[in-house]
């Protein structure tokens, strides 16, 4: 989380600083209307700057993953920027539209404007000024649509497939708002750092929006596959699915000496599409990857409408599309001892790592804690076999036995826990509680790694 917190702060500070290099929120004379004028510009810069960067993150740029600690963290930053854009654009809209209403209601009295002299405008400035009325109208109505779409994205009760489809419309809304900003940004700003920055952001955001609209996101990381087999664990409400990946790229051309899937590290995830109507869903990969492999396995928890219907939807021989891999939850550190916590379906990345270590041990001492509310002996037997093959100490804490994981249990079970790194995947609130407790007792903060597996 540290990387995205710092990034979010830097984004807000830079947008604010470059704007203050061009203008002030304390104009002279300071009146409601003079403040309104500059605040509308300031809030517009913050809203569109945040939206531009959020749009770039939406296309899943691979080069940013290592800097922001994985796509899961990038999507969390994307969410924060979306909320920032919603708040700033709401303030922008209120000072623009609300002021007109208050004048009409008699709450405010608009100051008399001094007569304008003859102005010598350049061709571009005159073009922008002539488009102001249309830009304001389009901006207003697009704001209403974008605000509704952002709220839909934030409400978890909205089905994922509906969210995914409606959220794609945000790309079209962004292009309209980009034009609104281009026309209505104070013309003198374009000759200053704030204008240069906004021009770069609007261009990058517009390219990203076009990529979304034309289905180009992740195109180079997509491969076809076929469902080979699957197994449903009814007690756990979990589906294990094995997919055979094609050795061709998405366009159908053969890659000489190269498979379509370029491999993955244990702990990474991919987007899987089994139905165009449903769209792509993110799933953690539950299998290791070796040079002679053409198979990949996913373990999926029935948490929503689509995942609950997977036992009915999937069938052997079914064609699917896999995009990835993504994520930096890859167990890479310098600690000689690791503590893994896989809560519920959060056990998936650890299964992949154990299968990898069974073939290529890294010499570490590893303790795996698996707290689970549902218990199925067949699944626990497979987990135990994987742990034994990888030389890992397994601790299963089943709710049916009255055992619940806590930081105290970890400290009691693992010698020299202060010198370990902890890798957590599971419910976010549980992870936060565990992290705060164990860091307060002496674990270095940089040694706690948490997967934020929420795509909205």
CATH number at residue 445: 3.40.50.80
Please, which pLDDT band fits residue 252 given cuts at 50, 70 and 90? very low
Last residue within a domain, chosen from 304, 326, 348: 326
For residues 447 and 333, the answer to whether their CB atoms sit within 8 Å is yes
Q: Looking at the structure, do residues 51 and 164 belong to the same domain, yes or no?
A: yes
- SS3 category, 341: strand
245, 241, 254: which is closest to 224 by C-alpha? Answer: 245
Average per-residue pLDDT for the chain? 89
User: Sign (positive/negative) of CA torsion 265, 63, 51, 146?
Assistant: negative
Q: What Rg, from alpha-carbon coordinates, does the chain have? A: 26
> Which of 1-15, 245-259, 313-327, 377-391 shows the lowest mean pLDDT across its residues?
245-259
**Token output for 159:** 């089905």
pLDDT at 290 > cutoff 90: no
In percent, the amount of the chain with pLDDT more than 70 equals 93
Average the pLDDT over 108-132 and give the result.
Answer: 77
Q: Quote the domain boundaries for residue 145.
A: 2-105+125-213
Q: Looking at the structure, do residues 33 and 174 belong to the same domain, yes or no?
A: yes
Distance CA 171, CA 290 (A): 38
Q: Whole-model pTM?
A: 0.88
For residues 189 and 198, the answer to whether their CB atoms sit within 8 Å is yes
Last residue within a domain, chosen from 326, 361, 391: 326
Residue 388 lies in a domain: yes
Residue 112 lies in a domain: no
Residue 306 lies in a domain: yes
**Token output for 36:** 């309104």
Please, which pLDDT band fits residue 250 given cuts at 50, 70 and 90? very low
Query: Given this model, what pLDDT does residue 257 score?
Result: 36
pLDDT at 251 > cutoff 50: no
Overall number of domains in the chain? 3
What distance lies between CA 243 and its chain's CA centroid?
25
């Amino acid at each position: 989380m540290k990387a995205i917190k710092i990034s979010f702060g830097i984004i807000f500070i830079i947008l604010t600083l470059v704007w203050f290099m061009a203008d002030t929120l304390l104009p002279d004379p300071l009146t409601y209307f003079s403040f309104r004028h500059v605040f509308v510009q300031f809030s517009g810069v913050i809203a569109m700057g945040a939206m531009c960067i959020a749009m770039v993150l939406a296309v899943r740029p691979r080069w940013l993953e290592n800097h922001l600690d994985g796509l899961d963290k990038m999507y969390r930053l994307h969410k924060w920027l979306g909320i920032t854009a919603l708040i700033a654009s709401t303030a922008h809209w209120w000072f623009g539209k609300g002021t007109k209403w208050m004048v009409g209601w008699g709450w405010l009295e608009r100051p008399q404007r001094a007569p304008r002299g003859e102005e010598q405008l350049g061709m571009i400035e005159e073009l922008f000024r002539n488009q102001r009325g249309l830009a304001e109208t389009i901006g207003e109505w697009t704001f209403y649509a974008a605000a509704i779409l952002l709220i839909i994205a934030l409400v978890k009760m909205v089905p994922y497939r509906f969210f995914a489809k409606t959220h794609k419309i945000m790309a079209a809304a962004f292009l309209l708002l980009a034009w609104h900003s281009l026309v209505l940004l104070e013309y003198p700003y374009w000759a200053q750092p704030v204008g240069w920055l906004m021009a770069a952001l609007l261009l990058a955001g517009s390219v990203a929006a076009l990529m979304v609209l034309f289905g180009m996101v992740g195109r180079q990381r997509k491969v076809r596959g076929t469902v080979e087999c699957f197994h449903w664990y009814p007690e756990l409400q979990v589906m294990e699915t094995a997919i055979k990946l094609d050795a061709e790229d998405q366009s159908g051309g053969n890659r000489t000496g190269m498979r379509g899937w370029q491999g993955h590290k244990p702990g990474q995830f991919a987007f899987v599409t089994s139905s165009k109507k449903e769209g792509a869903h993110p799933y953690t990969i539950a299998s290791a990857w070796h040079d002679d492999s053409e198979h990949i396995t996913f373990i999926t928890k029935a948490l929503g409408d689509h995942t609950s219907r997977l036992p009915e939807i999937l069938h052997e021989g079914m064609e699917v599309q896999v995009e990835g891999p993504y994520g930096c939850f890859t167990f890479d550190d310098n600690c000689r001892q690791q503590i893994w916590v896989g809560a519920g379906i959060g056990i998936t990345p650890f299964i992949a790592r154990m299968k990898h270590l069974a073939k290529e041990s890294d010499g570490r001492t590893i303790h795996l804690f698996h707290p689970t509310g549902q218990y199925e002996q067949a699944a626990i037997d497979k987990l135990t076999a994987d742990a034994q093959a990888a030389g890992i100490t397994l601790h299963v804490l089943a709710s049916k036995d009255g055992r619940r994981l806590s930081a105290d249990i970890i400290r009691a079970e693992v010698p020299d826990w202060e010198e370990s790194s902890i890798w957590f995947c599971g419910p976010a609130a549980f992870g936060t509680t565990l992290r705060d407790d164990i860091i307060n007792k002496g674990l270095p903060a940089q040694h706690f790694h948490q997967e934020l597996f929420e795509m909205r």
